[in-house]
Structure 1
Amino acid sequence: MGSNVENDKPWKEQLASFLKDPTRRNLRNLLQLEAVEDNDLEFKRELLPFDLLAKHILAMANKDGGAIVFGVEETNLNQFSPCGLSNSFDITDIEKKLEPYVPKKLEISIIPTYYKGEDYPEFKDKLFLIIIVKYNPRYVPFIALKSGENLKKDTIYIRRNRASEPINYDELQEILNNRIETEYSTTDERKLIEHLEELKELYNYIPKSIKKVVSYKPPSVPLNFGLAGQQFKNFFGETEYETLPNPDYPEESYEGFIKRLIEIKKDIIIKLVKKS
């Protein structure tokens, strides 16, 4: 499997699908489109030493996330072929051996993929291992927790030119800015929810309707207190009420206000789509 310029766009689109849904079909499609290694995609023939694997995971998590696929070999420069893993593995063991190097907030998914009886001979009866590294700007930068032969403790790694390297000043500023923007966005969202809940509570303090006295019949002294029902009613008098809209209730209901916000948001989205 080789790579050319014409295939760059299709395999990139397939990579996006693969990262969202790392199924056997999406992996097969990715390799058949002659994908090459990039900052968000790494191919390896066999499993790596765990400190080196942790280094790649940390670097991807600090960039934009990505995938590491084991069981794919580089046959020529930027040409990759599915060879399958020669040895089996234990997912729990991988997780335990990565744990000393990687912060708990860093999320990964470890997915074994086996092609049994596939129609495509290059995949048939082959085992692959996929590690999906999730990107969460709220927690970057992720720092190595432990030193190893291939990484240093308290060092921030990032993907650069298809390699995992120590971060430089400009890259650090970029990911910190991304984190700040994400925190602002999250804070604004939280504030909006709080404001809406408080507004709804205020609406509950004002009744939508009020009762107005229409007529009142004065009480009469009952002759026989044994006839409790009607005679006690006459004793206290009779009042008729009419239910009317509360003039102090806001003209726009809470539901109407939410509906108006939805329409405003829709207009903003439409304008953004037209500009793009």
Structure 2
Amino acid sequence: MFYEDIQPQKLKDFLLDPTHDTLCELLLYNTGETDFLDFKAKWIDLTKLAKHILAIANSGGGSIIVGVGQQSDGSSSLDGLSSQDFLDKADVDNKLGNYLPSWVKYRTEDFIFDKQALAPFTDKKFQVLIIEYDPKYVPYTSIISRGELRYGAIYIRQGTKSIEASNEKLLEIILRKVNAGDAYSTDLTLIEHLTQLKYLYAERNRQADDDYERFIERVIERKQRRIEQVLDVYGMTDE
């Protein structure tokens, strides 16, 4: 898993070691919702939830914490979940699997505090979706059109919202993938490689800056070589 861009540090600490203690630290000293962190008072519609998961996965990974409300002033309310709203985590993960690509890595964790826990966590329950980021698989796309989801759409986080990516944001994702080096690549399908190449061509054609255009050309060349590898013709010469 890759969490290099995660902010704040307490969120990164929690993702790397998701314990009751690190969750308490994150919630007590949180700075509100970000590109990497979302709060929900209760579980929401699964298509909306899948949209947030895709957006967070494309933006660098992170977490959705269920049981935390948002006040009108932007502050958090650590209300926890009632027994009725506390769902079976395996059931949540299995149902979400109907809306997400199989290579999106996520899981739900239960955090149950007893009567001996310190306030404001005494006798409260939270559930947390942990969403991993792996540059070799991005951008993650929606595999279904239903509810909040549009088939083939690429979602990203923008502050507290999950929105459909613009061409510029999609390019950022692709460049982040390229900067990750050879760790990504052959796990993508041919269609996904060709889609990325199409966006790179469009970006090259609309840029006027010579240095930037040369950079995009180099990225295009790398992507073309990768497609040749996928087609199993890398290194072949014309007869």
TM normalised by structure 1 equals 0.61
**Aligned in 2, Cα 1:120/1:164: closer, same or farther, shift over 3 Å?**
same
For 1:121, the equivalent position in structure 2 comes to 119
- CA RMSD in angstroms comes to 1.7
**1:28-67 to 2 correspondences below 5 Å:** 28-67=24-63
Structure-1 separation of matches of 2:25 and 2:183: 36
Q: CA deviation at 1:181?
A: 3.0
**1:9-20 to 2 correspondences below 5 Å:** 12-20=8-16
For 2:146, the equivalent position in structure 1 comes to 148
**Residue number among 163, 173, 184 corresponding to 2:171 in the alignment:** 173
Larger RCO (CA within 8 A; separation ≥ 6): 2
Do the aligned residues in 2 keep the contact of 1:31 with 1:81 (CA within 8 Å)?
Answer: no
SS at match of 1:111: strand
Do the aligned residues in 2 keep the contact of 1:34 with 1:79 (CA within 8 Å)?
Answer: no
Q: CA deviation at 1:64?
A: 0.7
Q: CA deviation at 1:53?
A: 0.5
Q: What are the Cα deviations for residues 139-196 of structure 1, in whole angstroms up to 9, with x where unaligned?
A: 1010111122212111110011221000001111111122233343569xxxxxxxxx
Letter of the 1:37 partner, please give it. Answer: E
SS at match of 2:9: helix
SS at match of 2:152: coil
Q: Taking every aligned residue pair, what percent have the same amino acid on both sides?
A: 32
Name the count of aligned residue pairs. Answer: 177
**Aligned in 2, Cα 1:181/1:27: closer, same or farther, shift over 3 Å?**
same
For 1:107, the equivalent position in structure 2 comes to 105
Which structure features the higher share of strand residues?
1
Q: What are the Cα deviations for residues 19-45 of structure 1, in whole angstroms up to 9, with x where unaligned?
A: 211211111111111431111010110
Q: CA deviation at 1:77?
A: 2.1
SS at match of 1:76: coil
SS at match of 2:8: helix
Letter of the 2:43 partner, please give it. Answer: L
TM normalised by structure 2 equals 0.70
Structure-1 separation of matches of 2:43 and 2:52: 12
Q: CA deviation at 1:101?
A: 1.2
Q: Does 1:27 align with 2:32?
A: no
